[in-house]
């Protein structure tokens, strides 16, 4: 392949970051920057302004073949079982240190294409890499008593080459969440970031090389889902795929994995998460977390608390306060510290959100605030709150992936549980109450992989994050994610010389 000399240079002059960034926009394969075989590119756009930023290289299935070959070679020679856990740990800690040293630049790059307000992203991203660095030298099997003539034990070994497909809504976070557990247990990686938001992932590649990871351990091929994504999910030498994205694409990933080599699959798909606020809740606390739970990252989160259930005793008071809070949110360029909400990621996503707002109006729901474009440039949508909805409405049942909340009144604990579980999704949920018994009862009853109590989206890298029902399979954090990149092998050793 031809070496890539295509470098994006950008001068940042904002309060949160002042400096020049240089990002190679080629493909990263075998620790080298290369041009895609067909030389295709895509235009990257700043969603804050709607204007062109730069071009990035787009790979195809042929480029995936080369990347997988590099990953497979590394797995068999310099990584996998040939690289001790202590070495993998040291390299991941070094990567985390380099990411921390360059974190302001990485976040600035994130803001260019995703417009993601910084928030807790930094701590979670760095913490994720360091958490799995700490697990890398702690892979353990078991010895199991069977009979006097046999010594039996288990081995935990890496799956092999893994394909990782991450979404556009938080690429740096998902780069960390995907590469860290996979590399920690000895797998090699071919990662496909979204073609809309590849810059931060590409910048991490230079840090991977600087940290000292061997060639082929980590590779990045930017491309479209129906080419690069499909090639990864169908490839016979890829033994596992980890995918974060929509339910529709998740179904295709699963089919491809089954039709190819029955590769393992981890899926984090959509959500329509319930946020239940009881009469005895601390209203100020509930309001704060509810607002961030749906409007953070412009609502572009799988776990967004988009269905807000409020008990009838405080419903009117909550609606008044929630509406006032939504109206005062500062929308703008996320590179500025007073901004709390950026735009939607693209014109396509902006149009999707506005279309759902129109659908809500047509179905008879009431907009109490928002529902319009914000400003005259970029892809900003006003924080929007719907009331007077029913469970059959599309805005109640379908994932909008924008700053749109539906608020629904309920009477009893049993009503809240029934309403909350009336969805095909089961990713996240939340409860606001000062009654411990209510918190435990509802937490047990909710059909969701995560339950937040008196908070929302306050995530921890050491805890699992998994979906119930159509929200996915497997965990994307915690020790559960680490374990998902390994196989268990049983060894039966005849020590009694029995024939």
Active site residues: 268
Separation CA 164–CA 189 (nearest Å): 7
Cα separation, 79 vs 213, whole angstroms: 9
DSSP 8-state assignment for residue 297 = G
391-395 long-range contacts, Cβ below 8 Å, gap at least 24?
Answer: 391/419, 391/422, 393/360, 393/363, 393/364, 393/365, 394/356, 394/359, 394/360, 394/363, 395/356, 395/359, 395/360, 395/363, 395/365
* Residue 85 near residue 139, CB atoms below 8 Å: yes
Neighbours of 207 (CB within 10 A): 18
Query: What are the CA-CA distances from residue 419 to residues 91, 222, 253, 345 (Å)?
Result: 47, 40, 30, 31
Q: Tell me the C-alpha distance between 261 and 274, whole Å.
A: 37
DSSP character at residue 271 = -
Give the Å distances, CA to CA, from 93 to 64, 171, 390, 403.
Answer: 28, 20, 50, 36
SS3 label, residue 105: helix
Nearest to 173 by CA among 153, 193, 154: 193
Name, in order, each residue with C-beta under 8 angstroms of 196's C-beta and a sequence gap of 6 or more: 44, 45, 113, 168, 345, 346
CA distances from 324 to 158, 288, 319, 320, 385 (A): 52, 12, 8, 6, 11
């Amino acid at each position: 392949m031809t070496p890539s000399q295509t470098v994006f240079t950008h001068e940042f002059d904002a309060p949160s970051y002042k400096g020049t960034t240089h990002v190679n926009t080629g493909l990263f394969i075998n620790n080298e920057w290369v041009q895609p075989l067909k030389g295709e590119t895509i235009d990257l756009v700043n969603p804050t302004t709607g204007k062109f930023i730069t071009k990035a290289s787009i790979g195809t299935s042929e480029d995936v073949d080369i990347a997988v070959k590099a990953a497979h070679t590394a797995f068999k020679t310099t990584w996998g079982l040939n690289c001790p856990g202590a070495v993998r740990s040291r390299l991941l800690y070094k990567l985390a240190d380099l990411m921390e040293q360059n974190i302001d630049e990485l976040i600035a790059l994130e803001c260019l294409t995703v417009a993601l307000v910084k928030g807790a992203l930094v701590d979670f991203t760095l913490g994720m890499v360091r958490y799995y660095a700490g697990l890398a030298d702690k892979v353990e099997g078991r010895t199991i008593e069977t009979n006097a003539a046999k010594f039996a034990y288990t081995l935990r070994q890496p799956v092999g080459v893994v394909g990782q497909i991450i979404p556009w809504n938080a690429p740096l976070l998902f780069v960390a969440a995907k590469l860290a557990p996979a590399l920690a247990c000895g797998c090699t990686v071919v990662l496909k970031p979204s073609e809309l938001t590849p810059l931060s992932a590409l910048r991490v590649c230079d840090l991977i090389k600087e940290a000292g990871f061997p060639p082929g351990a980590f590779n990045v091929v930017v491309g479209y889902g129906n080419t690069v994504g499909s090639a990864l999910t169908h490839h016979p030498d890829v033994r596992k795929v980890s995918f974060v994205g929509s339910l529709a694409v998740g179904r295709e990933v699963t089919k491809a994995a089954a039709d190819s080599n029955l590769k393992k699959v981890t899926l984090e798909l959509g959500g329509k998460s319930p946020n239940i606020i009881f009469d005895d809740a601390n209203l100020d606390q509930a309001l704060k977390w509810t607002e961030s739970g749906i409007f953070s990252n412009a609502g572009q989160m799988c776990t967004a608390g988009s269905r807000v259930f409020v008990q009838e005793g405080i419903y009117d008071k909550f609606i008044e306060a929630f509406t006032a809070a939504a109206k005062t949110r500062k929308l703008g360029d996320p590179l500025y510290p007073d901004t709390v909400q950026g735009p939607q990621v693209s014109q396509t996503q902006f149009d999707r959100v506005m279309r759902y707002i129109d659908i809500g109006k047509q179905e008879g729901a009431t907009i109490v605030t928002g529902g319009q474009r914000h400003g005259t440039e970029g892809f900003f949508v006003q924080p929007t709150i719907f009331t007077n909805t029913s469970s059959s409405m599309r805005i109640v049942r379908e994932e909008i992936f924008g700053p749109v909340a539906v608020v629904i009144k309920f009477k009893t604990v049993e009503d809240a549980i029934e309403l909350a579980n009336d969805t095909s999704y089961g990713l996240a949920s939340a409860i606001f109450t000062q009654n411990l018994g209510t918190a435990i009862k509802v937490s047990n009853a909710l059909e969701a992989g995560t339950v937040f109590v008196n908070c929302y989206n306050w995530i921890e890298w050491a805890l699992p994050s998994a979906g119930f029902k159509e929200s996915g399979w497997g965990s994307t954090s915690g020790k559960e994610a680490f374990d998902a990149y390994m196989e268990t092998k049983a060894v039966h050793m005849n020590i009694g010389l029995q024939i």
